[in-house]
Every structure is written in structure tokens, then in C-alpha cells.
Amino acid sequence: MTVNAAPETTALPRQGTLSIIWQGLTRNKSGFAGAVIVLLILGLAYIGPFLIDRHNPSDGAKVWQAPSAEHLLGTNLQGKDTLIKVILGGAEPLWVGILAALIAVGVAVVVGSVAGYFRGKVDTVALQLTDITLTIPGIVLMLVLTTMYRSISATAIAVIIGVTTAPVLVRSIRAQVMSLKEREFVEAARLQNLGAGRIIFTEILPNMGGYIFVNFILAINNAIYALVGMYLLGLLPSTADNWGLMIYESWNSGAFRLPRALPYIAVPLALIILFQIGLVAMSRSLEQALNPRLRER
């Protein structure tokens, strides 16, 4: 999924990027709230495991126990503490989502900008490759690749998701670059003989910052959905703690029918939804901050 709003052509000010981002988040309540949600969930996933006892043994006498003082979120089918599994299960899906988005956006920005700027044979080859990839539904391609490697790692999953979702964004970035390269500030850069690489990466792409960032956020959301979907279909290995795996286990065992087992499926699902809501809210504020015309309003 991509956003097709045209980027602005006004050059970004020399103010520091971090300062611009901070101002964009703090001037908008929803954006700031979204950033807080995202940081809290990232903290839970990456700092939380160091603050708890990771030992979580199985106990047949405590299968699907309701929340209690001993187990704040109850237990699962093996009698393991649900809260511990929630804390340990967030790192992988978030890592896969972020890495897949970085790969998808990175490939799209490089290929799309080069194809859109140079046109000719480079553009033809890029379009043919993306057309071939787009003829195969992304979810089908991901399913085929993941079923071929049953012991696939989280990083490999991220690479597969990133590569299979990049083509749509490649065409979008290409179209934006083709539009921007005809603008006056790019013509002025050409007259100064700045070089194609410098023009692309210092003149054109900075004016697409908000557009690229919003698509990066959407790519994270899509990657997490893809990961959870593959777990629900039972296509990924079930060796590590993972929110997607927790949802799969709850569904596969029929635990969603047991009121006392509700936290095991509801909590990871709620955290995924909250993380994505936080990203969307934060992205709107950052798009405004990175868009020169919107920032002046």
C-alpha cells in the first residue's frame, strides 16, 4: 500500500532533522501520543526481557488458568505464564516489521529514483522487473518462499517480505522522481553541474521525505500483518516466543472460546494494533514536520 500525494518541492531548511522531527511530534497531541505508544511497546519488547526472570517452565497443573496474583495474565496451554511470553514475544515481530520496511523502502528509493531520473534502458529494465514481480500476488510469493525453508530465521523472513513488497513502491517513487526532476530547482542544480547522484540524493529525495516516511510506516504495518498471517496459517517455525505464534496457538487450540484464556490472544493482538495505531498517528505528525509547506501552517 502506498500514498500517492505529491511531495512538495520546497527545499528543507537547514534546521537539524532531529529538531524538525521533535517539533513535529510535540506540536501535535495525537502525534505525540502515537510516539509515546510506539516507544512504550518498543521498550516492552526490547528492554522488558532484561527486567524479568525469563525462566517460564511448563506446569500441567496450571493449564489455562485465569489471571491471578501469581500470574497476572493467566497461563497458556502448557501452563506457562502469559505475561512472560508477552514480554518475550514482541522483539521478533517488531524486528521483522522494521527491517522489512527498511529493505522495501531502501530498494524502492534506490531503484525508483535511478529509473525515474535516468529513464532509457535503466527505466525499461526496472519496469520489467517490477511488472514480473507484480504479476505474482505478494502473499503467494511469500508463502512459497517461507514453505521452502521451514527453519527460516526472522531476518530471512524480513528480507522476503521486504523484497516482495518493494515493487509497488518502486513504481510510485519513480513517478514522483519523474515529476520532480522537471522542476526549476533541479534544473538549477543541473546548470551547476552537481552530478546526477548529488541531484537525486540531495535535491530530489529530501523533498520527498514526508512521502517516503509515510510509506515506511505503512510498510512496517504491512510486514507485521504478513508475519502474523503466516503464523496463523502455520507456515513459520514455532520455536521462539512470538506474538503471532501466541495468536496462532490460541486459535489452533480453541482457547478463544475460554474466557479465562482470553488474555493469551487478546493482549498480543491488542499490542500489535496499538503499535500500528501509534505508528500511523506519529507518521501524520512527522509528515507535517517534513513537508515544508505543511510545517509553516
pLDDT tens-place string over residues 50-98: 998 888 888 888 888 889 998 899 998 888 999 999 999 999 999 999 9
Q: Which residue has the higher pLDDT, 123 or 148?
A: 123
Do 236 and 248 lie in one domain? The reply is no
In a domain, 285, yes or no: yes
What's the number of domains the chain is made of? Answer: 2
In this predicted structure, what is the pLDDT of residue 14? 46
Do 150 and 268 lie in one domain? The reply is no
> Cα–Cα distance between 112 and 167 in angstroms, integer?
9
Q: Could you give the count of Cα atoms lying within 13 Å of 267 in the half-sphere of its Cβ?
A: 25
**Residue 54, exposed/middle/buried by CB under 10 A (0-12, 13-18, 19+)?**
exposed
Give the domain extent around 274. 15-51+78-90+241-297
In a domain, 3, yes or no: no
Angle between helix 120-134 and 91-118 (nearest 10) = 140
**240, 256, 278 — which closes off a domain?**
240
Do 83 and 202 lie in one domain? The reply is no
Q: Which residue has the higher pLDDT, 145 or 178?
A: 178
Do 232 and 269 lie in one domain? The reply is no
In a domain, 85, yes or no: yes
Confidence tier at 231 by pLDDT (50, 70, 90)? confident
pTM for this structure? 0.83
Read off the pLDDT of residues 164-210 as tens digits, 9 standing for 90 and up.
Answer: 888 889 988 988 888 888 888 888 877 887 777 788 888 888 888 77
In a domain, 280, yes or no: yes
In this predicted structure, what is the pLDDT of residue 20? 66
